[in-house]
Structure 1
Amino acid sequence: MHAIETKRLILTRAAPADAAALARFSTRNADHLSRWEPTRPDGYYSETAWHNRLTAYAPDIRAGRYLPLVLRFHDQPDVVGTANLSNIVRGEFQACHLGYAVDAEQEGQGVMSEALRAVLDHAFGAMSLNRVMANYLPENMRSAALLARLEFEREGYAKRYLKIAGEWRDHVLTAKLAPQPEELADRASTPGAVGA
């Protein structure tokens, strides 16, 4: 996979060589992200742990079942966010789950919106997926607003869906479907349309 570039960002597939940068990102943002994530064991954010995880993910990445991405500003080495397409299923389903995290200092700056628009273009374009699903905690208003801006639709509410911060938590279930040919034609013909 080639890098995905946006106006401000470059998104690359995470690899063991990114372990040190991901360790810095996750350590710097551990408190910021802890209320939205599962409880992490000691050492989870270390460079060695990241290297081991990324190495272990390699077969799923090669098989097209997982796509972890790191986000950086152009010409800057620090990771400012992550995005991943996981549980990628082909055949009659052609779907996956979307996950993401942004640096606390970049929250509210449009970084994740910019990145995820490019990720979704890649998912529905080069990857030919039909459905991308994203789920969030009911009180996570930032994720709710972000997914609404990206035109994800609420599809349900799952009780005790994931164990987050040590407790089984309900989640709002959303999804975005690949645009149909007629939708793409409408967008292209609308003056000033995004992506036109």
Structure 2
Amino acid sequence: MFMQGKQIYVKSVEESDVEALLKLEKDNRDFFQRFTGLREESFYTHQGQLERIRKAIEASKADQGYVYVIGLQDTGATIGEIMLTEVVRGNLQSCWIGYFLDQDHNGKGYMTEAVQLIVKFAFQELKFHRIEAGVMPHNLGSIQVLLKAGFHKEGIARKNVKINGTWEDHQTLAILNEADEEASSLIQRYNPSVIAPPIGPYTHVTKVARGAELLVFSGQVGTDREGNLPADMEEQVENTLANIQRVLAAEAMSADHIVKINIWAVQEIDWDHFDRVWEKFHQGKAPSMTMAYVPALAIPSLQVEIEVWAAKG
């Protein structure tokens, strides 16, 4: 398997990758060790990596697990690994995803792109229904990678993995294959394989079933329930999403009924803050969305306005 992204590529591991993987593991030994179980010294040898690769290839042939190498498009350098493990077929059709990225290449969007590519391949080619991930709660960067790739939080698994001799809690996240949803579902969200995955937490396409009732909410703004408008941009964003939730609830609807969201802002959004409140709003099922900056809104004190299209039976 070989999948090409914008900045990186992902391919199935081969014996010819042994030296590149050995270098990756040795260069990042202390960094990777913070997130995995204790490893024997033999792991950091040519023979140890070769045996690991051979086992991965056999597991792939047996549909028991899959290991992939992440490389840079421009140089071909190996910068990471991503794997699908704990494969269960039958009525579950599930697996777990894990990954490691060279410390010097963290924070550049490479792993988000790699996860998106692997999820696409796992759903379309390997026919998984559900992919799960476990991340230590303090590993916020990894959690953010998964959220941007479309995963949603499901809860905390207490003391479930021994890391460096200590049983650690893990945040459980998962993503479902939307193609497995019933055809009769009122609203179907999906990302077509003919274009690249979304660059953020949203869905490219939303399909509404015939006969549904369409509701369009006028642009919601950041006033509180008494009509007061805070000066702070972050407070306006939070109030706006809260107002949308109230309007939806009044119509016996939720974020699951949203067809499209359009957001206009007059100043640059703090994306770290927005991503947090946005994920809380849609609970891992990000709708189609357009975000734009404009010179001004109707009232000078307004800094953000959000329009919602929703549908129900």
Counterpart-to-counterpart distance in 2, 1:43 and 1:101: 19
Query: 2:186 matched to 1:187?
Result: no
List runs of 5+ in structure 1 lacking aligned partners: none
2:129 equivalent in structure 1: 130
Kept in 1: contact 2:115–2:146 (CA 8 A): no
Query: 2:122 matched to 1:120?
Result: no
% identical aligned pairs: 25
TM-score (norm 1): 0.90
Greater length-normalized contact order (CA 8 Å, ≥ 6 residues apart) = 1
| 1:83-98 superposed matches below 5 A | 83-98=82-97
| 1:43-192 superposed matches below 5 A | 43-74=42-73, 76-179=75-178, 180=181, 182-184=188-190, 187-188=204-205
Counterpart-to-counterpart distance in 2, 1:58 and 1:149: 29
Give how far 1:99 is off. Answer: 0.2
Across the aligned residues of Structure 1 and Structure 2, the Cα RMSD in angstroms comes to: 2.0
Kept in 1: contact 2:7–2:73 (CA 8 A): yes
Counterpart-to-counterpart distance in 1, 2:14 and 2:86: 18
2:4 equivalent in structure 1: 5
Counterpart-to-counterpart distance in 2, 1:5 and 1:48: 29
> Secondary structure of 1:146's match?
helix
**Partner amino acid, structure 2, of 1:50:** Q
Range that drifts further, 70-79 or 15-24: 70-79
Q: Which has the larger radius of gyration?
A: 2
Kept in 2: contact 1:94–1:128 (CA 8 A): yes
Counterpart-to-counterpart distance in 2, 1:147 and 1:75: 25
Counterpart-to-counterpart distance in 1, 2:123 and 2:3: 14
- 1:9-42 per-position Cα deviation (integer Å, ceiling 9, x unaligned): 1211112221111000011111111111111111
Give how far 1:145 is off. Answer: 1.4
Kept in 2: contact 1:88–1:94 (CA 8 A): yes
Give how far 1:158 is off. Answer: 1.4
Counterpart-to-counterpart distance in 1, 2:169 and 2:190: 35
- 1:153-185 per-position Cα deviation (integer Å, ceiling 9, x unaligned): 222211221110121111111111112462128
